[in-house]
Structure 1
Amino acid sequence: MKVKRNLFLASLCVLFLVCYYIMNQTYDELARYPYATEENHDLILHYLDEKDIDFLLAQNVKPEQFLPYVECAGFQLEHTLWYDKAMQLQPADASYIVQFIETWKNEFTFHEMDTLLSAYLYADLAVYFENGDPFVEHASLMVDPSDLLSDLHAETSVYTYVPADLVALKELPHVNVNSTDKEVYVREAMVKPLEALSEAMSEASGVLNYDLIIVSGYVSYEEQKQLYQNALLQYGADQFLQYEDYPGHSEKQLGYTVRFAIAGVSDLQTVTESEQAKWLREHAYEYGFIVRYPSGKEAITQKQAQPLTLRYVGEEAAKEMRDHDWTWEEWVKRNEQ
């Protein structure tokens, strides 16, 4: 009797093992993954294990988000969403994107990618992350230089950034003194306010643009290098920052700054006391502009006065600065508190 019972139990075990083997042979690990198809089934199983499939389900990752990268050297499934977002923002070879993300992802957050990859090229970012700022040690790269109220200073850099929406000022008196290209470019958002300012100046004075000519707007990184070298030669290493900035650290590169000039007048005191400078001090804020480096505020701005240099900040911020007689630096400091 005991022998029969043992044989029966042994038979059950064998039957269980056979059944388990058969089930195991027919079990599909991707059965629970709703995006698996006949076309991608074998490829997914070739590269991913059960733990990976758990990740796909938990993050709701679709095949088109990871399959373009799965065969790339250095691929990490947990970084799939980084690769996918990078490809959407700045299309490139899949292998290059994987390499870029795996090398530099600790330099920025996932959420910063939207603005970072809209402002800078992969190659430029790689150079900056690898070597740092070429002019200011320990400077940090500005993640979103497109922001109207970006605060650019010696500790922050926009490196090789070029605004995507630069527009030539065809309708206003201008000549670009910083470039062989005589057109002056600014961000599109400030064109209409600048035209409204010009119209108001013309009406107030009875002459076109109050006899002012725009001589500078957006200044590129490469053009800044030349301005920097000129300032070093003219003012020396201890004084040049009163007149210019390190390349990549100038607000001119943001595209929200314009500089006017009065034909035949260059003396600072004469410019400061001119009717045009006085009018701008009184009325520029009405159109969203501030005098960026006003006379009498040199100790705060750390710059020589530039009575005819304006920055567009929008009407609300400009009015607040005007009402409190704040410079840009004072306004930024108070808004950081």
Structure 2
Amino acid sequence: MDSKTLGLRLLLLGVCAGVAITCMIKINETYDPLARYPYVTEQNRPVILAHLDAKEIDYMITQQLKPDQYLEFINEPDFSIYNTLFYARAKKAQDAPAAYIVNFINKYRSNFSLDTLTRYLSHYSYADLTSFYENEQILHEDVQLAPDPAYPYLVLNENLSVYRYVPDGLSDLEGTSLKSEAAQRLKAMLDDYKKIVGENESLGLESGYLNYEQVLDRYLRATLVYGEYVDRFALSGGENEQQLGYTVALTGAQRWDTLVAENKAFVDYDYTKVEEELGEAELETQAWLRANAWRYGFVVRYPQGKEEVTGHYYQPYLLRYVGQKTAKAMVDENKTMEEMDFEEELQ
């Protein structure tokens, strides 16, 4: 090939390359990044293009995010298209200013899924969730927040908290609050006890629903008595089941706890000396509760012989309402709530 022919070929290649580049430039100039987005309108187009880059637009299109899911939040300085579904879900579950929701989701997204976020915001305020993540989880890194604190068979412990949750549907019974159904069944039990045992042998209430502050105060005072064993006696704020509205302490509970502390029965779970200090009537009451509480839907929450399972010493006057069917199953099978598979066993 002579030099003239070679030169012409190189010139031709150069011309072709120039044409190709020019065509690409023209194509890019007319390329519409939202061409594949079925929800684009003349009104939202400039807003989307002003806030999202090519990668974010591609994500929006791939996930088929709708404008009503993110346009309310897109003008916020910390808006992220990748958190769109969380913003929208939070807004629907519990309304708040867009800026507040964006900040909350961006900061705490690692603590929940879309499903648990909905459940959290059905029971907890943004302020309580923020406080929990900023305080409780920092002080107790192993503790998690219960997604559904209203679940009637919820089992709390040092690793699962309802924090400042306040149950709805509380009813008053002799100055004590309990969930309505539990209060009705408890009243029936107390009335029957009086009829069966005798008019002069009434059984009363010491405490029912307790709020976070009340539980925390009791826990701190118990720490002075029980020291390293305090968690066998009570759990801290958020972790005590009396916050759920289903647990009640009957007359005799405080006296029992005092005797257990004095005799250090919470160490070896030997209640012989404690029972020796009780009167015959008190022991008969305990026996009656063990034999009959289930008929009204209650179980002894921390029974004797199950201390290693529940993590608590025997508390004969502390009852948990679970409903008659569940209570009967637990008594028949000699199971605590920790040992029950409620969804399977109660079908």
Structure-1-length-normalised TM-score: 0.76
Q: Which residue of 1 aligns with 2:337?
A: 328
Between 251-260 and 273-282, the greater mean CA deviation after superposition: 273-282
Q: Which residue of 2 aligns with 1:116?
A: 120
Give yes or no for the alignment of 1:65 onto 2:69. Answer: yes
Q: Distance in 2 between matches of 1:219 and 1:263?
A: 15
C-alpha contact (below 8 Å) 1:212/1:262 kept by paired residues: no
C-alpha contact (below 8 Å) 1:151/1:332 kept by paired residues: no
- Whichever residue aligns with residue 221 of structure 1, its letter is Y
Give yes or no for the alignment of 1:190 onto 2:182. Answer: yes
Q: Which residue of 2 aligns with 1:310?
A: 319
- Correspondent of 1:168 among 166, 171, 182: 171
Encode CA deviations 1:47-89: one digit per residue, 9 max, x unaligned.
2355544433443322121011111122111210001111112
Given the superposition, is the C-alpha separation of residues 202 and 53 from structure 1 closer, same or farther in structure 2, using an over 3 Å criterion? Answer: farther
Q: CA RMSD for the aligned pairs?
A: 4.0
C-alpha contact (below 8 Å) 1:301/1:329 kept by paired residues: yes
- Per-residue deviation at 1:296? 4.9
- Per-residue deviation at 1:221? 1.1
- Whichever residue aligns with residue 185 of structure 1, its letter is S
* % identical equivalent positions: 37
Alignment of 1:145-294 (within 5 A): 145-163=149-167, 165-169=168-172, 172=173, 174-175=174-175, 184-198=176-190, 200-201=192-193, 204-205=196-197, 207=199, 211-233=202-224, 235-261=225-251, 269-270=278-279, 273-294=282-303
- Whichever residue aligns with residue 215 of structure 1, its letter is E
Encode CA deviations 1:25-56: one digit per residue, 9 max, x unaligned.
77655455343344333222322355544433
Q: Distance in 1 between matches of 2:241 and 2:339?
A: 16
Structure 1 alignment gaps of length 5 or more: 1-5, 176-183
Q: Distance in 2 between matches of 1:120 and 1:264?
A: 31
Alignment of 1:119-158 (within 5 A): 119-133=123-137, 136=140, 138-158=142-162
- Whichever residue aligns with residue 151 of structure 1, its letter is V
Q: Distance in 1 between matches of 2:298 and 2:150?
A: 17
The 3-state SS of whatever aligns with 1:112 is helix
Structure 2 alignment gaps of length 5 or more: 1-10, 260-274
* Structure with greater helix share of residues: 2
Given the superposition, is the C-alpha separation of residues 27 and 277 from structure 1 closer, same or farther in structure 2, using an over 3 Å criterion? Answer: same
Given the superposition, is the C-alpha separation of residues 254 and 201 from structure 1 closer, same or farther in structure 2, using an over 3 Å criterion? Answer: same
Given the superposition, is the C-alpha separation of residues 263 and 241 from structure 1 closer, same or farther in structure 2, using an over 3 Å criterion? Answer: closer
The 3-state SS of whatever aligns with 1:185 is strand
Q: Which residue of 1 aligns with 2:103?
A: 99
Given the superposition, is the C-alpha separation of residues 320 and 151 from structure 1 closer, same or farther in structure 2, using an over 3 Å criterion? Answer: same
C-alpha contact (below 8 Å) 2:190/2:203 kept by paired residues: no
Given the superposition, is the C-alpha separation of residues 145 and 263 from structure 1 closer, same or farther in structure 2, using an over 3 Å criterion? Answer: closer
- Per-residue deviation at 1:332? 6.5
Q: Number of matched residues? A: 315
- Per-residue deviation at 1:17? 6.7
C-alpha contact (below 8 Å) 2:163/2:212 kept by paired residues: yes
